[in-house]
Amino acid sequence: MTAIGIYGSAGRMGRVIATIAPDEGASIAGGVDAREDPVPLAHHADVLVDFSTPTALEAHLAAAVAAGTPLVIGTTGLSPTHHALIDRAAETVAVLQTGNTSLGVTLLGILVEQAAQRLGPEWDIEIVEMHHRHKVDAPSGTALLLGEAAARGRGTTLNEERVDGRAGLVGARTEGTIGFSSLRGGTVIGDHQVVFAGEGERIELGHRGEDRSIFARGAVKAALWLAGKPAGRYSMAEVLGL
Protein backbone atom coordinates (compact mmCIF):
# COMPACT_ATOMS: atom_id res chain seq x y z
CA MET A 1 0.00 0.00 0.00
CA THR A 2 1.33 3.48 -0.89
CA ALA A 3 2.41 5.35 2.25
CA ILE A 4 1.79 9.12 2.23
CA GLY A 5 3.84 11.56 4.34
CA ILE A 6 2.00 14.75 5.32
CA TYR A 7 3.67 18.15 5.71
CA GLY A 8 1.19 20.18 7.77
CA SER A 9 -0.32 17.03 9.34
CA ALA A 10 -1.93 18.73 12.36
CA GLY A 11 -3.69 21.39 10.29
CA ARG A 12 -7.28 21.46 9.00
CA MET A 13 -6.31 19.74 5.73
CA GLY A 14 -3.65 17.42 7.17
CA ARG A 15 -6.15 15.92 9.62
CA VAL A 16 -8.79 15.26 6.94
CA ILE A 17 -6.20 13.70 4.61
CA ALA A 18 -5.11 11.28 7.36
CA THR A 19 -8.75 10.35 8.01
CA ILE A 20 -9.78 9.64 4.42
CA ALA A 21 -6.51 8.10 3.08
CA PRO A 22 -7.49 4.49 3.99
CA ASP A 23 -10.79 4.88 2.04
CA GLU A 24 -8.73 5.70 -1.05
CA GLY A 25 -6.38 2.74 -0.54
CA ALA A 26 -3.43 4.62 0.96
CA SER A 27 -1.70 4.50 4.34
CA ILE A 28 -0.07 7.34 6.27
CA ALA A 29 3.71 7.20 6.70
CA GLY A 30 3.72 10.03 9.25
CA GLY A 31 3.40 13.77 9.58
CA VAL A 32 5.50 16.88 10.14
CA ASP A 33 4.45 20.29 11.47
CA ALA A 34 6.19 23.56 12.37
CA ARG A 35 9.69 23.31 13.84
CA GLU A 36 10.02 19.62 12.89
CA ASP A 37 12.63 18.17 10.49
CA PRO A 38 10.98 17.33 7.13
CA VAL A 39 13.90 15.12 5.96
CA PRO A 40 13.30 11.75 7.74
CA LEU A 41 9.65 11.63 6.58
CA ALA A 42 10.73 12.25 2.97
CA HIS A 43 12.94 9.14 3.19
CA HIS A 44 10.36 6.75 4.56
CA ALA A 45 7.23 7.94 2.71
CA ASP A 46 6.45 6.73 -0.84
CA VAL A 47 5.00 10.14 -1.68
CA LEU A 48 4.56 13.45 0.19
CA VAL A 49 1.71 15.95 0.38
CA ASP A 50 2.26 19.53 1.55
CA PHE A 51 -0.64 21.50 3.06
CA SER A 52 1.34 23.79 5.35
CA THR A 53 2.70 27.29 4.73
CA PRO A 54 4.66 28.95 1.91
CA THR A 55 7.66 29.70 4.16
CA ALA A 56 8.18 25.94 4.62
CA LEU A 57 8.03 25.09 0.91
CA GLU A 58 11.74 25.47 0.12
CA ALA A 59 12.70 23.00 2.90
CA HIS A 60 9.96 20.57 1.81
CA LEU A 61 11.14 20.66 -1.81
CA ALA A 62 14.75 20.14 -0.72
CA ALA A 63 13.74 17.14 1.42
CA ALA A 64 11.72 15.60 -1.44
CA VAL A 65 14.58 16.11 -3.91
CA ALA A 66 17.21 14.68 -1.52
CA ALA A 67 15.08 11.58 -0.91
CA GLY A 68 13.85 11.26 -4.52
CA THR A 69 10.25 11.24 -3.22
CA PRO A 70 7.37 12.73 -5.29
CA LEU A 71 5.55 15.70 -3.76
CA VAL A 72 1.98 17.04 -4.10
CA ILE A 73 1.86 20.74 -3.14
CA GLY A 74 -1.53 22.06 -2.02
CA THR A 75 -0.18 25.00 -0.02
CA THR A 76 -1.34 28.36 -1.42
CA GLY A 77 0.00 31.91 -1.18
CA LEU A 78 2.99 30.98 -3.35
CA SER A 79 5.18 33.65 -4.99
CA PRO A 80 6.93 33.55 -8.40
CA THR A 81 10.09 32.56 -6.48
CA HIS A 82 8.26 29.53 -5.05
CA HIS A 83 7.12 28.54 -8.54
CA ALA A 84 10.72 28.79 -9.80
CA LEU A 85 11.81 26.50 -6.93
CA ILE A 86 9.05 24.03 -7.86
CA ASP A 87 10.19 24.04 -11.52
CA ARG A 88 13.76 23.34 -10.39
CA ALA A 89 12.71 20.48 -8.08
CA ALA A 90 10.59 18.99 -10.88
CA GLU A 91 13.80 18.41 -12.85
CA THR A 92 14.71 15.78 -10.23
CA VAL A 93 11.42 14.44 -8.79
CA ALA A 94 7.74 14.27 -9.75
CA VAL A 95 5.89 17.34 -8.42
CA LEU A 96 2.24 18.37 -8.69
CA GLN A 97 1.23 21.84 -7.48
CA THR A 98 -2.36 23.05 -7.50
CA GLY A 99 -4.38 25.64 -5.62
CA ASN A 100 -7.29 23.21 -5.50
CA THR A 101 -7.29 19.41 -5.56
CA SER A 102 -11.06 18.99 -5.96
CA LEU A 103 -12.63 17.42 -9.04
CA GLY A 104 -15.14 20.27 -9.30
CA VAL A 105 -12.59 23.08 -9.40
CA THR A 106 -10.29 21.18 -11.74
CA LEU A 107 -13.18 20.88 -14.22
CA LEU A 108 -14.20 24.51 -13.58
CA GLY A 109 -10.70 25.63 -14.64
CA ILE A 110 -11.16 23.90 -17.99
CA LEU A 111 -14.61 25.47 -18.48
CA VAL A 112 -13.32 28.95 -17.59
CA GLU A 113 -10.45 28.64 -20.09
CA GLN A 114 -12.90 27.65 -22.84
CA ALA A 115 -15.36 30.42 -21.98
CA ALA A 116 -12.63 33.06 -21.91
CA GLN A 117 -11.30 31.89 -25.26
CA ARG A 118 -14.73 31.93 -26.93
CA LEU A 119 -15.96 35.21 -25.42
CA GLY A 120 -12.82 37.30 -25.98
CA PRO A 121 -11.44 40.28 -24.01
CA GLU A 122 -14.53 42.48 -24.49
CA TRP A 123 -16.24 40.33 -21.82
CA ASP A 124 -14.91 41.58 -18.47
CA ILE A 125 -13.77 38.87 -16.05
CA GLU A 126 -14.12 39.27 -12.28
CA ILE A 127 -13.32 36.48 -9.80
CA VAL A 128 -14.96 36.54 -6.37
CA GLU A 129 -13.99 34.13 -3.60
CA MET A 130 -15.06 33.60 -0.01
CA HIS A 131 -13.30 31.56 2.69
CA HIS A 132 -13.39 30.98 6.44
CA ARG A 133 -12.06 33.57 8.90
CA HIS A 134 -8.76 31.67 9.47
CA LYS A 135 -7.48 31.83 5.89
CA VAL A 136 -4.26 33.85 5.68
CA ASP A 137 -3.67 34.35 1.93
CA ALA A 138 -5.67 36.35 -0.64
CA PRO A 139 -6.64 35.99 -3.39
CA SER A 140 -7.05 32.27 -2.78
CA GLY A 141 -4.90 29.81 -4.70
CA THR A 142 -8.06 28.66 -6.48
CA ALA A 143 -8.99 32.19 -7.56
CA LEU A 144 -5.51 32.58 -9.03
CA LEU A 145 -5.73 29.17 -10.74
CA LEU A 146 -9.04 30.24 -12.32
CA GLY A 147 -7.56 33.61 -13.31
CA GLU A 148 -4.63 31.83 -14.96
CA ALA A 149 -7.07 29.58 -16.84
CA ALA A 150 -9.00 32.63 -18.06
CA ALA A 151 -5.80 34.41 -19.13
CA ARG A 152 -4.62 31.28 -20.96
CA GLY A 153 -7.95 31.12 -22.78
CA ARG A 154 -7.42 34.69 -23.96
CA GLY A 155 -3.85 33.92 -25.03
CA THR A 156 -2.28 36.14 -22.38
CA THR A 157 -0.83 35.74 -18.87
CA LEU A 158 -2.40 36.60 -15.52
CA ASN A 159 0.65 38.71 -14.60
CA GLU A 160 -0.22 41.12 -17.40
CA GLU A 161 -3.94 41.36 -16.58
CA ARG A 162 -4.34 40.97 -12.80
CA VAL A 163 -6.14 43.64 -10.72
CA ASP A 164 -6.53 42.97 -6.98
CA GLY A 165 -9.26 44.33 -4.65
CA ARG A 166 -10.12 47.82 -5.89
CA ALA A 167 -10.61 50.67 -3.41
CA GLY A 168 -10.81 54.45 -3.82
CA LEU A 169 -10.82 56.47 -7.04
CA VAL A 170 -9.42 53.72 -9.22
CA GLY A 171 -10.82 54.90 -12.56
CA ALA A 172 -12.80 52.98 -15.17
CA ARG A 173 -12.06 49.36 -15.85
CA THR A 174 -9.31 48.61 -18.37
CA GLU A 175 -10.40 46.14 -21.07
CA GLY A 176 -8.80 42.74 -20.77
CA THR A 177 -8.05 42.94 -17.05
CA ILE A 178 -9.03 40.14 -14.65
CA GLY A 179 -10.23 41.42 -11.26
CA PHE A 180 -10.10 39.63 -7.89
CA SER A 181 -12.23 40.21 -4.78
CA SER A 182 -11.79 38.25 -1.55
CA LEU A 183 -14.31 37.83 1.28
CA ARG A 184 -13.41 36.27 4.64
CA GLY A 185 -15.75 35.10 7.38
CA GLY A 186 -17.23 32.30 9.42
CA THR A 187 -16.63 28.70 8.46
CA VAL A 188 -16.95 28.90 4.64
CA ILE A 189 -14.96 26.01 3.16
CA GLY A 190 -14.31 27.72 -0.20
CA ASP A 191 -16.62 29.47 -2.71
CA HIS A 192 -15.46 30.74 -6.12
CA GLN A 193 -17.41 32.63 -8.75
CA VAL A 194 -16.01 33.64 -12.15
CA VAL A 195 -18.17 36.40 -13.65
CA PHE A 196 -18.01 37.11 -17.39
CA ALA A 197 -19.73 40.49 -17.80
CA GLY A 198 -20.69 41.53 -21.33
CA GLU A 199 -22.97 44.14 -22.88
CA GLY A 200 -26.37 43.59 -21.25
CA GLU A 201 -25.68 40.04 -20.03
CA ARG A 202 -23.52 38.05 -17.60
CA ILE A 203 -22.32 34.47 -17.39
CA GLU A 204 -21.32 33.14 -13.97
CA LEU A 205 -19.36 29.92 -13.54
CA GLY A 206 -18.80 28.84 -9.96
CA HIS A 207 -18.02 26.20 -7.38
CA ARG A 208 -18.93 25.84 -3.72
CA GLY A 209 -16.92 23.53 -1.49
CA GLU A 210 -19.19 22.01 1.15
CA ASP A 211 -16.66 19.82 2.94
CA ARG A 212 -12.83 19.67 3.15
CA SER A 213 -12.97 16.00 2.18
CA ILE A 214 -13.29 17.10 -1.50
CA PHE A 215 -9.76 18.55 -1.29
CA ALA A 216 -8.43 15.67 0.81
CA ARG A 217 -9.76 12.98 -1.56
CA GLY A 218 -8.23 14.83 -4.51
CA ALA A 219 -4.91 15.18 -2.70
CA VAL A 220 -4.78 11.45 -1.92
CA LYS A 221 -5.74 10.55 -5.52
CA ALA A 222 -2.98 12.88 -6.75
CA ALA A 223 -0.46 11.31 -4.35
CA LEU A 224 -1.34 7.76 -5.46
CA TRP A 225 -1.10 8.81 -9.12
CA LEU A 226 2.22 10.65 -8.62
CA ALA A 227 3.99 7.87 -6.66
CA GLY A 228 6.46 6.18 -9.01
CA LYS A 229 6.14 8.83 -11.77
CA PRO A 230 9.36 10.15 -13.36
CA ALA A 231 10.61 13.68 -12.66
CA GLY A 232 8.37 16.42 -14.03
CA ARG A 233 5.68 18.92 -13.11
CA TYR A 234 2.23 17.39 -13.38
CA SER A 235 -1.32 18.79 -13.20
CA MET A 236 -4.52 17.84 -11.39
CA ALA A 237 -6.31 17.55 -14.78
CA GLU A 238 -3.86 14.76 -15.71
CA VAL A 239 -4.58 12.95 -12.42
CA LEU A 240 -8.34 13.09 -12.99
CA GLY A 241 -8.13 12.37 -16.73
CA LEU A 242 -10.01 15.58 -17.61
Ligand X SMILES: O=C(O)C1=N[C@H](C(=O)O)C[C@H](O)C1
- Does the annotation place 130 within a ligand binding site? no
Site string for ligand X, 64-83 (x = CB under 6 A): ------------x-------
Catalytic residue among 60, 82, 83, 131: 131
Supply the minimum distance, in Å, between the C-beta of residue 77 and ligand X.
7
Q: Which amino acid, 30? A: G
- Does 221 qualify as catalytic in the annotation? no
Residue 194 near residue 205 (C-beta atoms within 8 A): yes
In the residue annotation, 229 being an active-site residue is answered as: no
Min CB(84)–ligand NDP separation in Å: 18
**Which stretch in 21-29, 96-104, 108-116, 222-230 sits in contact with ligand NDP by CB under 6 A?**
96-104
Closest CA to 5 of 60, 86, 78, 58: 60
On whether 12 is known to bind a ligand per the annotation, the reply is: yes
Distance of CA 212 to the CA centre of its chain: 14
Binding mask 207-226 for ligand X (x = CB under 6 A): --x-----------------
Site string for ligand NDP, 191-220 (x = CB under 6 A): ------------------------x-----
* Among ligand NDP, ligand X, none, partner that 52 touches (CB below 5 to 8 angstroms by kind): ligand NDP
- Residues of this chain, 17-76, that bind ligand NDP according to CB under 6 A: 32-34, 51-53, 56, 74-76
- DSSP at 229: P
Determine if the peptide bond prior to 80 is cis (ω within 30°): no
Cβ closest to ligand X, residue 69 vs residue 98: 98
User: Does position 31 bind ligand X by CB under 6 A?
Assistant: no
CA 101 – CA 96 distance, rounded (Å): 10
**CA-to-CA dists, residue 27 to 1, 45, 130, angstroms:** 6, 10, 32
Helices (H), the chain: 12-20, 39-44, 57-67, 80-89, 103-119, 141-153, 158-161, 213-226, 236-240
Active site residues: 131, 135
